[in-house]
Amino acid sequence: MNKLQPRASSPNMGWRTSTEVSLPTAIYPPIEAERPIPYLQILQRRKWTIILCAIAGALVGTAAVWRQPYIYQAHALLEVQGINENLLNTREVNPSAKADNFSQSYINTQARILQSYPLYERVSRRLNSGASDASGQHTAWNPPVTPREVANSIHVRTRDTDRIVEIAVESNDPQRASAIANAITTEFIAEDLEARWEASRRTSGWLNSELETLNQKLQGSEENLQDFTQHSNLLLDADQGSIAENKLREIQVELSRAQAERITKQAAMESARGEQSGGELLGDVTLQQYQLQLTTLHKDLAQLEATYAPDYYKIPPLKAQIAELEKAFGQRRRELMDQKQTEYLAALRRETLLQSRYEDEFKGAASQAAKMVHYAALEKQVELNRNIYSEMLQKVKGYTVASAMQASNIRIVDPAQAPLLPVRPNKPLIAILSAFGFAFFGICLVLAQAAGNRSIKEPGEAQQYLHSPELGVIPSARANIQPYGPRRAQGLGQPRLRVIRNGEARLETATWNHTPSLLAESFRSTSASLLFSKGERERPRVLLVTSVNPSEGKTTVATNLGIALTGSAGSVLLIDADRNRARLHGVLDRPNDRGLSELLQPDASPDASEFRDFIVDTPIPNLFLMPNGKTLLRTPDLLYSAQMARLIQELRQQFDMIIIDTPPLLHLSDARILGRLSDGVILVLRAGRVRRDSAIAAEQRLRDDGIPVLGTVLNDWDPKKNGYGVYPHDPRDYTYFTAK
């Protein structure tokens, strides 16, 4: 056993010389809920799986359509024109005429007729008979065209913006497709003309039968009127009216006039007799002259009386003249009143005579009133039948002419031509879509696997869910590490002393046994991350290595990290603090007579110089080991003791780096206790086995204890299994093979 000498502390390395125990603390951001799965990174890592799915999909799609025949589609365009259903006012006599025959519903109706089975039968007969179509083709087809083939191959489309009906016919023969499309248009127009002609024929027959019935009714009504006139002894004038009624009507008119005249004369007489009726008589010229003269004389008299005395010589003669004129005025007025009375009496007598004559004529005309009523009804019936017959006769003649003028309202805009290119299957497109579909399936499969597997299995995943950085990635234990080949092994100097057991080199010392390997480089890279985990000026001195669960490779990581640090950090001490599975002495092939458990016993109180007696050297230079010892630590209480803190403090003075191997964090509390005495914890996570929630819980416990987590190490990662492949620089340098 090599005796170790105390080593002075170096200020450049930041070593502490005080015997006080300093518990490091860590400040973390608040813990968050489990972060979402990084789907893009998962897809990038599993890209070859997706690519293989896409290739398989392209092959499947190509195989599915490889033997499918090409389908050609021929197009024909028809214009549905508006037709004048009221030509020459024939709508009123045509029971099948439409009020508005041109609308979108009418176009849709024509499109449905194009898809009727009777039309398909006509098309089949036409094509199989060899008749020419709209494009001039007249080929008899072999095999024959069947109505079912036509029904299965036709597609009719319309649009709301125009009157065009598009007919699309599909077939594996382009000539056959165009022939069927053109035959459909030809037979559709022919069927439309036949339907119109048949409707016109039926309507004409109905109209002629109705016209004959009306003629018979007219003749019957005329005969009834003539018979009644002959047997009723009615005296009719030229206007077919009764003579008695005409006389009565004339007398009634004269009587009305006489009554009006009598009333007028009576009113004039009574008006002339009244006191205020001077106005009625002043219409006479003589009275008007008398009135004018009297007015003048009265005016002159008033002027004289106003100027002279009553006995003035001119006044008496003037008064006498006035009296004479007043007498003449009165006489003329009485004569006019007598004249008014005489005229009234004459009008009264004429009215009385006409009234008597009217009563006599009325008695004679009343006997013929009932006969005239019946005669008028018969005459009106004759007139009505004559008008109906005349109007119907005119419409029948017009409908006959209009029916002969009507033509089809369907026009062929573009006859079908034989297509040059098929419409389906688009074999390249199907292969591409199939590839995309399988690729999508591969993406879903990869994401489903990633969502179902909640373990940390890829590099970079740990730091996505934890707050700690990823210090390194260690290749899988299932892939043994080959040393460099002969080309790289030349010039390496003398072979190293290998740490072996039972004739086989152990994985825990692979960094020493397989120095020129990717595994060794992985541990060296991890050690470099450790040295700079706290910055360039401060290095962690005491490292605690633990894991979440058992069998995650923490002992392997601790040993190889210790070997890797001997080349860069100086002397390294491994402390086996795993009281359940002490393995470091077996890994390094050293005795386990005494160690950490003996130092921490209550009755043990060695001084600083005696600590060195519990440390053994190893075959690896600068790497030392403090075994667990034979005395097992039944409880972790001794780890809280001042003896443990003083031990760590003394060991800081003698070694550049101290690595403590502890039990799993979630099973025992040893790591949490010793973590307070260390500069940081290294959390070992085994790829594909440790769950994310377990890793988060472990980190949370350390965080709650104020213990800094320097980072995580992803162990047992298989690059080939996860799609990363081998190291890209030189495959001959780093190779993998499956362990036995």
Average of pLDDT values for 25-38?
Answer: 47
Give the domain CATH number at 668. Answer: 3.40.50.300
Q: Are 268 and 280 within 8 A, CB to CB? A: yes
Provide the pLDDT for residue 208.
80
Q: Which amino acid is at 499?
A: V
Mean pLDDT of 518-524: 81
| Whether residue 483 sits in one domain with residue 348 | no
| Cβ partners under 8 Å of residue 451, min gap 6 | 37
* Separation between Cα atoms, residue 38 and residue 46, nearest integer Å: 12
Residue 475 lies inside a defined structural domain of this protein:
yes
**Structure-derived torsion over alpha carbons of residues 41, 44, 45, 48, reported in degrees to the nearest 10:** 160
360 located within any domain: yes
d(CA 671, CA 667) in angstroms, rounded, equals: 10
Give the Cα separation of 565 and 546 in Å (integer): 18
Last residue of one domain, picked from the residues 350, 367, 384 = 367
User: Nearest Cα to 333, choosing from 375, 299, 288?
Assistant: 288
What pLDDT is stored for residue 367 in this prediction? 60
617-637 tens-digit pLDDT: 888 899 999 998 887 666 667
Sign for the pseudo-dihedral over CA of 238, 240, 242, 248? negative
Q: How far apart are CA 216 and CA 508, in angstroms?
A: 127
Residue 211: other Cβ atoms inside 10 A:
16
Q: So what's the pLDDT on residue 401? A: 65
- pLDDT at position 10 over 70: no
Give the ranges where 66-161 is alpha helix by DSSP (H): 104-113, 117-129, 147-153
Q: Is 659 left (phi over 0), alpha (psi -120 to 50) or beta?
A: beta
Angle at CA of residue 473, ends 467 and 476, nearest 5°: 130
> In whole numbers, what is the pLDDT of the chain averaged over residues?
76
Give the global pTM. 0.47
pLDDT at 516: 67
More confident residue, 266 or 66: 66
With respect to residue 335, please indicate whether it lies within any of the assigned structural domains. Answer: yes
- Confidence (pLDDT) at 335: 78
Residue 432's H or E segment, with its range, is helix 427-452
> Pick the residue with more confidence: 171 or 385?
171
- Beta carbons of 702 and 571 less than 8 angstroms apart: no
3-state percent breakdown (helix, strand, coil) of the chain, nearest 5? 50, 10, 35
Res. 36: pLDDT tops 80: no
**Does residue 705 form part of some domain?**
yes
- Indicate the residue among 367, 384, 416 that finishes a domain: 367
Last residue of a domain, one of 336, 367, 398: 367
Could you give the C-alpha distances from 484 to 304, 526, 739, in angstroms and in order? 175, 21, 18
pLDDT, tens digit, 9 for 90 and up, residues 116-140: 889 999 998 888 887 655 555 556 6
**Amino acid occupying residue 413:** V
Q: What is the pLDDT of residue 309?
A: 82
Q: Name, of 27-36, 228-237, 289-298, 356-365, the range with top average pLDDT.
A: 289-298
Q: Determine, yes or no, domain membership for 218.
A: no
* pLDDT for 366 beyond 80: no
Of 99-108, 172-181, 479-488, 507-516, which has the strongest mean pLDDT?
A: 172-181
pLDDT in tens, 389-408: 788 777 777 666 666 555 67
CA distance 598 to 604: 7
Does pLDDT of 148 surpass 70?
A: yes
- Rounded average pLDDT over 258-283: 67
| Residue 574: band (very low, low, confident or very high) from pLDDT cuts 50, 70, 90 | very high
- Write down the pLDDT at residue 86: 54
Residues 512 and 642 in one domain: yes
> Does the pLDDT at position 735 exceed 60?
no
Among residues 599, 603, 605, which one has the least CA distance to residue 631?
A: 599
Model confidence pLDDT, tens digit, residues 211-229: 788 788 878 887 887 777 7
pLDDT at 487 over 90: no
Q: Is the same domain home to 495 and 631? A: yes
Q: Mark whether 349 and 470 lie in a shared domain.
A: no
- 73-77, 85-89, 713-717: which range is least confident on average? 85-89
Dist. CA 605–CA 619, nearest whole Å: 30
Q: Do both 472 and 615 map to the same domain?
A: yes
pLDDT of residue 23: 37
pLDDT of 7:
43
User: What is the enclosing helix (H) or strand (E) of 547?
Assistant: strand 542-547
Q: Residue 488 sits in which domain range?
A: 453-728
Confidence bin at 30 (pLDDT 50/70/90)? very low
Q: What is the mean pLDDT of residues 333-344?
A: 79
Q: Are residues 582 and 677 in the same domain?
A: yes
For 234, the enclosing helix (H) or strand (E) is: none
Encode pLDDT of 650-682 as tens digits.
Answer: 888 889 999 999 889 887 888 888 888 899 999
159-208 residue pLDDT tens: 888 889 999 999 989 999 999 999 999 989 888 888 877 777 777 778 78
Distance CA 472, CA 450 (A): 22
Say what the pLDDT of residue 658 is.
92
In a domain, 432, yes or no: no
What pLDDT is attached to residue 167? Answer: 92
Asked if residue 502 is part of any domain, the answer here is yes
**Helix crossing, 47-65 with 427-452: angle to 10°?**
140
In a domain, 568, yes or no: yes
Count of domains observed in the chain: 2
pLDDT of 169 reads 92
* Model confidence at 242: pLDDT above 70: no
Mean pLDDT across the stretch 415-428?
87
pLDDT band of 545, cuts 50, 70, 90 = very high
